[in-house]
Amino acid sequence: MQDILIFVFQTLLDLYILTFVLRLILQAVRADFRNPVCQFVLKVTDPLVLPLRRMVPPVGPVDTATLLIALALQALLTGILLNIACTTGPNMIQLIGLSVIRLARLTLNIYFFLIIAQVIISWVAAGQYNPMFVLLNQVVDPVLRPFRRLIPPIAGVDLSPLFAIIAIQVFLRLLSGRQLMSGMICSNFLQMQLL
């Protein structure tokens, strides 16, 4: 029963963290915030972001308040998981390091799935207009653009998503927190959940 409660808690908090990361991505690509998906993300995240934004202003193009909340929520979730499944709790450096790694991995996974969604939509609904397709292109194009410069379409087939997915998978393999978890005796299940 405890595993089920941990799973539900972790899933709900992961989904909430996901909305903050999406907010950062949407702000970075200057997405159209009249889009229904953007409106949903704003409504879900505004209760925490707006009060903190009064105290922590943005730094350049980065919404510092959103980033700090995402990091704090990720640290909370990571700390709870580590305290449940490890015999020794993490120190502050381990907790912050694992939280940053988990946020980076979440961002890469978001792009992985969005690129796959864009490829599938381009096959199924090519040429059709939908506000969701426009938003998807706004988010994915900055990642695909460098690959499109290096690899032009071959016989009309754009291979840039394939190479972007390979690059994302390489970065996901490089972003491991195994060194940060040294000295902590944790269950194998937790290590799979954290990394």
Is the pLDDT at 189 greater than 70? The verdict is no
Is the pLDDT at 9 greater than 90? The verdict is no
Q: What is the DSSP letter of 56?
A: S
Higher pLDDT, 131 or 76: 76
What pLDDT is stored for residue 194 in this prediction?
53
pLDDT tens for each residue of 110-119: 999 999 999 9
What pLDDT is stored for residue 183 in this prediction?
54
What token pair was written down for 150? 């290096």
Is the pLDDT at 188 greater than 60? The verdict is no
Identify residue 50 by its one-letter amino acid code: L
pLDDT tens for each residue of 132-183: 888 898 999 999 999 999 988 888 788 999 999 999 999 998 887 666 555 5
Count Cα atoms within 13 angstroms, Cβ side, for 115: 24
- CA 37/CA 52 separation, integer angstroms: 23
Is the pLDDT at 193 greater than 60? The verdict is no
What pLDDT is stored for residue 144 in this prediction?
93
What token pair was written down for 41? 């993300």
**Predicted TM-score (pTM) of this structure:** 0.86
Q: Which of 5-9, 11-15, 145-149, 176-180 has the lowest mean pLDDT?
A: 176-180
Compute the average pLDDT of residues 102-109.
94
Number of domains the chain is built from: 1
What token pair was written down for 84? 């449940």
Residue percentage of the chain with pLDDT more than 90? 47
Find the helix packing angle between 92-124 and 64-85, rounded to 10°: 110
pLDDT tens for each residue of 51-90: 999 999 888 888 999 999 999 999 999 888 877 776 666 7
* DSSP codes joined into one string, 8-67: HHHHHHHHHHHHHHHHHHHHHTT--TTSHHHHHHHHHHHHHHHHHHHHS--BTTB-HHHH
Q: Look up the domain containing 60 and give its range.
A: 2-194
